[in-house]
Amino acid sequence: MEVTLLLEATENAFRILERARAHAVGVLDTAVEFVAEETRYCDAKRCQVLFTGVQRRRTRFQNFLGTTFILFAFWMLLSGKFDAFHLTLGVICCAVVSYMFHDLLFANVRFGDMRIVAGRFIAYIPWLIQQILLANIHVVSLVVRRKMPIDPQVVTFKTKLETDISHVTLANSITLTPGTITMDIKDGVFYVHALSQKVAEDLNAGEMEDRVAHIFMEADHLYVQDVLDATRIYETLRL
């Protein structure tokens, strides 16, 4: 009698433990979802930024200052005269231009991310040049051969990128690489003309897209990183 009671009790305890674990896993699930939601260019944050006037004004001011700095660097590059009169003229002109066009340069980029984005973009350029050289060699090898084994085709793929600036970067990278030309972007679908099967396969492998997503910290890229982090937490929990 007591043994069955004991067994029942232990079974109950196990069930409770199981439920607790399921609950913990559920909580972690929602936490991961929450983190992923937070890290993407989330609508909530955007709405918050839009609806709180102070933050909006701050964003505008930051955009204004950033635009002024960039334009003033451009001005100094052009002008080459560093006396007080011309520098004052430059500051006034750049401030006026930034006041008129403060919403254009940083339209879809959060200002805090700018430094990271710029650094990653500069790091992306050598890789792009290397890709261009490789593609050049490939296209030359196609053209020089007597049979000229080209296989022109149109590749369409749906991109995972979200912002317009990343779309443009990817499209221009594809066009810069010999053998491929971006013909159109419609609702996130790229229509790319590819010269040969190899080029098309390279395109479908999507390394360039991953790298562009990495530059602009797009949602899917971060999401993958989050899942990798979360699996580590899961494993430690399971042990």
Partner 1 sequence: MIRESDDVIVKTLARLLVPFIVAYALYVVMHGHYSPGGGFQGGVILAAAFVLLGVSHGLEKTRRRMSEKVAGIISSIGVFIYGGIGLLCLILGGNYLHYGKLSKILGVDTAHARSLGILGVEIGVALAVMAVMCTIFFVLFTVGESPEDDGSVE
Question: Is residue 190 part of the contact set for partner 1 (CB under 8 A)?
Answer: no
Question: Is residue 81 part of the contact set for partner 1 (CB under 8 A)?
Answer: yes
CB 136 within 8 A of CB 178: yes
Figure out which of the listed residues 32, 36, 40, 71 binds partner 1, where binding follows CB under 8 A: 71
Going by C-alpha positions, the residue among 52, 43, 87, 239 that lies closest to residue 60 is: 52
Instruction: Tell the smallest beta-carbon distance from residue 190 to partner 1 (Å).
Output: 11
Question: Is residue 172 part of the contact set for partner 1 (CB under 8 A)?
Answer: yes
Instruction: Tell the smallest beta-carbon distance from residue 46 to partner 1 (Å).
Output: 18
Going by C-alpha positions, the residue among 116, 122, 125 that lies closest to residue 217 is: 116
Question: Is residue 165 part of the contact set for partner 1 (CB under 8 A)?
Answer: yes
Figure out which of the listed residues 31, 42, 49, 105 binds partner 1, where binding follows CB under 8 A: 105
Instruction: Tell the smallest beta-carbon distance from residue 58 to partner 1 (Å).
Output: 20
Question: Is residue 130 part of the contact set for partner 1 (CB under 8 A)?
Answer: no
Question: Is residue 93 part of the contact set for partner 1 (CB under 8 A)?
Answer: yes
Selected range binding partner 1 among 15-23, 50-58, 71-79, 195-203, rule: CB under 8 A: 71-79
CA distance 179 to 62: 41
- Exposure string for 173-187, b = 16+ CB within 10 A, e = fewer: bbeebbbbebeebee
* Sign of torsion over alpha carbons 130, 136, 142, 144: negative
CB 67 within 8 A of CB 98: yes
Figure out which of the listed residues 100, 137, 205, 227 binds partner 1, where binding follows CB under 8 A: 100
Question: Is residue 89 part of the contact set for partner 1 (CB under 8 A)?
Answer: yes
Rule CB under 8 A: which residues touch partner 1? Answer: 67, 71, 74-75, 78-79, 81, 86, 89-90, 93-94, 96-98, 100-101, 104-105, 107, 164-165, 167-168, 171-172, 182, 184-185
